Amino acid sequence: MTNTPRSCRRSPSAWAKRTLRPWRPTCRVCIPRRAHRPSSFHPYSAPLHDTARRFFIATENSAMFKALIALTLGVGLFAGLPLQAQETWQEGKHYFLIEPTQATTTGDKIEVVEVFSYGCAHCNEVAPMVEDIVKRLPANAQFVKLPAQFGFEAWKTFARGFYTAQALGIADKSHLDVFRAIYVDRKLDSRSPTLASLADFYSKYGVSAADFTATAQSFAVETKLKRNDALIKAYGVDGTPGFVVNGKYRVTGQSAGGYQNIEPLLNFLIAKETKGG
């Protein structure tokens, strides 16, 4: 007997003439999950056992049921508040002391450092938020961007590009554009960037490819790469994005309870340093 499906065994020609359904992906990775969306919302739209249905009907208007709903909504609203509205920032939980304290480069101003990389997708996501933080910093604080390497050649190339742009005076104006070129326009490769591709990208800021390449290979840029790589290790920062206040306090999005809490926590630490730590 052939391996023809049971429904087609009586008529082999039917199997030969079958119409195949169009291919579609069946992998969960290919098909994003879709939430169940009933045609119209009703508290009992989902199938319920009769006993459970009667229980809901009986308790729907009870005081306890209403109190439970109010409590649930209250907890949800409370969870959405900034963390500093829920509890006091605590050393060892929300921020960490760096020992020994590292030297700063901002003179008499409190230094706020972001350790980042153009190769970091999370850094790309928070970049606009970080730019807003920079604009709202207190007058006695100054922001410094520090590109990480972590032993990745691609990240080292991006760091070299940043220090080169910094030396040529185009780092600030091009910062968000680099992220866009990588993650939106796909003009730069986040995994294997080259000095030539960076030189071509930065040329639109009025810098020739020859000048960019020469600066990128200069002693000054090479020194910054080595010195700041060691500084990031001294900070104890092992992931990006990370933040350091005055060479003394280390903060991450996780320790802050979410990136939305980074700014209030940084402001807390700036105020703490303003008062003398």
Among residues 273, 157, 153, 263, which one has the least CA distance to residue 216? Answer: 157
For 20-88, the DSSP string reads: PPPP---STTTS-------SS--TT-S---HHHHHHHHHHTTSHHHHHHHHHHHHHHHHHTS-GGGTS-
Q: What is the pLDDT of residues 162-185, one digit of tens each?
A: 999 999 999 999 999 999 999 999
State the pLDDT at residue 62. 53
Angle at 227 between CA 108 and CA 124, to 5 degrees: 80
**Is the separation of the CB atoms in 198 and 157 below 8 Å?**
yes
**How would residue 276 be classed by pLDDT, with cut points 50, 70 and 90?**
confident
> CA torsion, points 186, 191, 195, 199, in degrees to nearest 10?
20
Q: Which region among 38-42, 181-185, 191-195 has the lowest average model confidence (pLDDT)?
A: 38-42
**Is the separation of the CB atoms in 247 and 102 below 8 Å?**
yes
Among residues 189, 114, 205, which one has the least CA distance to residue 155? Answer: 189
pTM for the whole structure: 0.70
Residue 220, both tokens: 């000054």
Helix (H, G, I), strand (E, B) or coil at 149: coil
Long-range contact set of residues 76-84: C-beta below 8 Å, sequence gap at least 24: 82/260, 82/261, 82/264, 83/256, 83/257, 83/258, 83/261, 83/264, 83/265, 84/261, 84/264, 84/265, 84/268
Q: Which region among 29-38, 188-197, 239-248, 259-268 has the lowest average model confidence (pLDDT)?
A: 29-38
State the pLDDT at residue 218. 98
Q: What proportion of the chain, given as a percentage, has pLDDT over 90?
A: 68
